Amino acid sequence: MHEMKPQTKKDFVLLILILGSIIAIGPLTIDIYLPAFSAISKSFSARESLVQLSLTTYFIGIALGQLFYGPFIDRYGKKLPLFFGLTLFFFSSLACFFAHNIDQIIIFRFFQALGACACTVVPRSIVRDIFPPQESGRVFSHLVLVMGVAPILAPTLGNILLTNFGWRAIFAFLAAFSIICLIVTHRAIPETKGFNKDEKIRDAFKKYFGILHDNHFVICTLIGGLMMGALFSYITGSPFLYIDFYKISPGEFSAIFSINSIGFVIASQINVRLLKKFSIEKVLAKIIYVPAIAAIALVAVSANANPNFWSLSILFFIILCSCGMIMPNTTALALAGHPKHTGSAAALMGTIQFSLAAIASFLIGKFNDGSALPLAIVISGCTCLSFFIFKKFHGKSS
């Protein structure tokens, strides 16, 4: 279904800006409060591991919640589920703002994630409705450019809000941002597929089971999901590594995080250029080597009791840049074979990928010993397993 495809460059840019801003809610909600971990811990006299748990529960919520949205998107269209998700996100953000203890933060972050799920699933399914697979790879890369502004600015913005108004202001900002997205959704989001009476909610698991029989979908989803696991491992573990181990300030950490995010975005735009000349499969086959090699080097550097700051940071940068190229391509390839049930396919893909990210995040918290090695091992495990799956199964799955 390509009749909704933007007819002018202005329409295309506007669509990318809107969808990218909505998808950005997910990474924004994660990254903006990373500098506030210590402040939240002190505010509630809670262990930092409990604050880290609020990030893990967010990952769990955004993984499981996507399964709920898939069949509703297929039946009711894109806008109604997105309205619901943004509204839930708004009230959950307010609840975090008024929280009285760390346990409430952990619980409300879970519901905040359930709302944010819609912001992940709906834009992906809209892109799949409008664009063919090769072009959707470029569109997803363009979306990374817009949503990539969130992790670039979020830590700095979070640090400004934290320093001037306290950590609660971060959740007030998120509530306000969701209201803006609600208004934009109402006025500008296209309804690529409306209500479909033939789609039954009760058939949800039957549809999911059918999609899982598509080996190509599963392989591409796992490759992208493991790279997402590496990305979220860094998001979870880097605040403690840099601030506690290397003793840098929250402001300096925000700068490092922003540099990595810029690299992630630039890599995604290089991917756009490459996809104009080469097939999406060929680009993926070449770039998949980069994070695997860098991850092995990362473990070697981290095995030292006092790993070199710059060596570690450069290797993190290379791996995160690779994510900016691999993840858009695997997303496009995974959804390519499911034009009829774009909502369910996008939801199942998101659930698998964020589940892998949640597991990786949990492992970082579980085995964190104050050194760089646990983070390096988890990231290396994700990237090397992603490489292995690609070499072993991709190309044999169609």
Tell me: pLDDT of 342 over 90: no
pLDDT at position 7 is 63
Cα 112 to chain centroid, rounded: 15
In this structure, of 305-309, 310-314, 377-381, the range with the lowest mean pLDDT score is: 305-309
202-228: pLDDT as tens digits: 777 788 888 888 999 999 999 999 998
Enclosing H/E stretch for 346: helix 342-367
pTM above 0.95, yes or no: no
358-390: pLDDT as tens digits: 788 888 877 877 788 999 999 999 999 999 999
> What is the number of residues in the chain?
398
pLDDT at position 140 is 81
- What mean pLDDT comes out for the span 250-266? 85
Residue found by looking up tokens 């994660």 in the block:
30
pLDDT at position 254 is 79
- Domain ranges in the chain? 9-190+201-393
Tell me: pLDDT of 109 over 90: yes
Chain-wide mean pLDDT for the chain? Answer: 86
> Which CATH topology does 9-190+201-393 take?
Growth Hormone; Chain: A; (1.20.1250)
pLDDT at position 3 is 45
- What mean pLDDT comes out for the span 69-91? 87
- What mean pLDDT comes out for the span 49-75? 83
High-pLDDT (> 90) share of the chain, % = 35
Of residues 34 and 322, more confidently modeled:
322
Neighbours of 278 (CB within 10 A): 14
- Output b/e per residue, 317-330; b: 16+ Cβ within 10 A: bbbbbbbbbbbbbb
